[in-house]
Amino acid sequence: MTQYDLAIVGGGILGLAHALAAQRAGKSVIVLERHSQCIGASIRNFGFVTVTGQSRDRIWPHAKRSREIWAEIAPKAGIGVAHRGAVIAAQRPEAEALIEAFLDTDMAEGCTRITPDQAHEKIPALDPNAIGAALYSPHELRVESREAVPALARYLESLGVVFRYNCAVQAVDTPRIETSQGPIKASQVVVCPGDDATSLFAERLQPRQIEICKLHMLRLRPKTPFRMEAALLSDLSMIRYHGFADLPEAAALQSALAQTQPVQLANGVHLIVVQSGDGSLVVGDSHHYGASADPFQPAAIDTLITDEFDALMSCDYEIAERWTGTYASAPGSVYFIDAPDPATRVVMVTSGCGASTAFSIAEETLAGLG
Ligand SMILES: Cc1cc2nc3c(=O)[nH]c(=O)nc-3n(C[C@H](O)[C@H](O)[C@H](O)COP(=O)(O)OP(=O)(O)OC[C@H]3O[C@@H](n4cnc5c(N)ncnc54)[C@H](O)[C@@H]3O)c2cc1C
């Protein structure tokens, strides 16, 4: 039986990020994925590598480092960057005040306040009359996740990483791993199970009170084509990103939203709009938490999302796709690296920002494993 230096459970972005870090450290690596391809959060997301607005101490440094790695590997792996940067549009005076407060912090490095017309230049369908100002951040990247994740896997394979799909891992007792395709040996094991907290190491994970967060997503096809230079976010987004939401000025925005958009708040709806190579727009999202995700996608939640889109964008469209995605969520936790034994780690992103942080978290895991 071949013995690998490192086995990774899970072929999502977190597993692939660990494979990249380990391959760069000169380790022989195998990735074990239970499905025939990654079908989890990593291909259902916006592919929005978000830096500005991330939680200052816990996420922002990981996001900055991960964005660097995305920018470096994208051309090597044949991953297209659809657009860069973000426009955070302020619809209300309270949001403008929050942007001003944010600009006074060191987290605003490279960011500027822009006028509605300047925002409209970057996003031609954005109605300049719908906003009072905007924050422009140059830091973000947007990749098409459903293409980027398989492309990254192919790139890793070309570097010698071994992939085994349709291979469910049933037990890990490093160096022995029991799988649906027979046992595998590896000196070290990193488990990146996405939102599955009830299989491997379930007893260790149980005290973390991990829940599933379910999100609604849409693909809109504009009837008149236009090109976005940057991603778009709205007032509702600012109170979800802790880099903004933790500032004292966020309280006024929160209470204005509670009065005018209580249904959106109750359903965790905010607005992110990103664009794909074919001109279509990926638009979302909503947040519903529970022990498991129900399989249904009520149209009323989709409408809350398109209402927010319509409030900002002057654009006729058809809805081309609808889907849901899930990620792990845990109280007070943004990610964790658990060590059941010195050669084994369980790594989970528990705050819905894995596309923005995985590469840097993987470097932290590998540094700890030695
Ligand atoms: C709709 C949506 C939008 C999002 N938007 C963004 C965004 O724009 N920016 C951002 O930074 N983040 C975003 N996120 C969050 C981000 O997608 C996740 O944090 C990230 O994808 C988690 O990656 P992962 O590899 O841990 O999980 P996953 O992608 O779920 O991968 C886990 C993999 O492990 C496999 N697996 C689990 N257990 C086993 C086992 N026992 N044996 C074998 N295989 C196993 C699963 O089959 C799965 O393929 C979004 C999430 C969703 C759902």
Domain count, the chain: 2
Pair (121, 216) in one structural domain: yes
List the structure tokens of 307. Answer: 């209402």
Q: Is there a single domain that holds both residue 173 and residue 194?
A: yes
- Examine residue 66 and state whether it is found in any structural domain, yes or no: no
Percent of the chain with pLDDT over 70: 100
Q: Is residue 181 part of a domain?
A: yes
Torsion 254-258-262-267 (CA) sign: positive
Q: Say whether both 157 and 22 belong to one domain.
A: yes
Of 9, 14, 45, the residue with max ligand 1 atoms within 8 A of its CB, to mutate for a pocket test, comes to 45
Alpha carbon distance 323, 213 (integer Å): 14
Residue of minimum CA distance from atom 37 in ligand 1: 193
Peptide bond into 106 cis (omega under 30): no
Does residue 316 sit in helix, strand or coil?
Answer: coil
Shared domain for 162 and 306, answered yes or no, is no
The tokens describing 344, both together, are 């084994």
At residue 346 the predicted structure's pLDDT band, cuts being 50, 70 and 90, is very high
Is residue 349 pLDDT above 90, yes or no?
yes
Contacts of residue 146, defined as CB under 8 A and 6 or more positions apart, other chains included, come to 43, 44
The pLDDT value given to residue 153: 98
**Do 274 and 128 share a domain, yes or no?**
yes
Pairing of strands 176-179, 184-191: antiparallel
CATH of the domain at 313: 3.30.9.10
- What lines the ligand 1 site, CB under 6 Å? 9-15, 32-35, 38, 40-42, 44-46, 48, 50, 168-169, 192-196, 199-200, 215, 217, 285, 325-327, 349, 352-356
Mind listing the pLDDT tens digit for each residue in 22-46? 999 999 999 999 999 999 999 999 9
- Residue 364 lies inside a defined structural domain of this protein: yes
Of 18, 38, 42, 338, best ligand 1 pocket probe by most atoms within 8 Å of the beta carbon:
42
- Do 32 and 168 have their domain in common? yes
For residue 283, the CA-to-ligand 1 centroid distance in Å is 18
Name the band, by pLDDT with cuts 50, 70 and 90, for residue 370.
confident
**Residues pairing with 87 in the sheet:** 136, 232
Task: Return the CATH number at 162.
Answer: 3.50.50.60
Ligand 1 atom, smallest distance to 13 CA = 25
95-133 pLDDT, tens digit per residue, is 999 999 999 999 999 999 999 999 999 999 999 999 999
How do residues 240-274 score in pLDDT, each as one tens digit? 999 999 999 999 999 999 999 999 999 999 999 99
Is 199 in the same domain as 148?
Answer: yes
Report the distance separating Cα 62 and Cα 357, nearest Å: 5
Using the mean position of ligand 1's atoms as its centre, give its distance from the Cα of residue 13 in Å: 7
Ligand 1 atom closest to 285 (CA): 1
Our mutation pick for probing the ligand 1 site, out of 196, 301, 326, counting the most ligand atoms within 8 A of Cβ, is 196
Asked whether residue 232 falls in the same domain as residue 309, the answer is: yes
pLDDT digits (tens, 9 = 90+) for 181-231: 999 999 999 999 999 999 999 999 999 999 999 999 999 999 999 999 999
Torsion of CA 353, 359, 364, 368, to 10 degrees: 120
Q: Determine the structural domain holding residue 230 and report its residue range.
A: 84-139+211-329
Whole-number Å distance, alpha carbon 31 to ligand 1 midpoint, is 15
Residues 157 and 236 in one domain: no
What phi and psi values does residue 25 have, to the nearest 5 degrees?
Answer: -85, 5
* Residue 221 CB neighbours (<10 A): 16
* Banded pLDDT at 1 (limits 50, 70, 90): confident
Question: Which atom of ligand 1 approaches the CA of 272 most closely?
Answer: 8
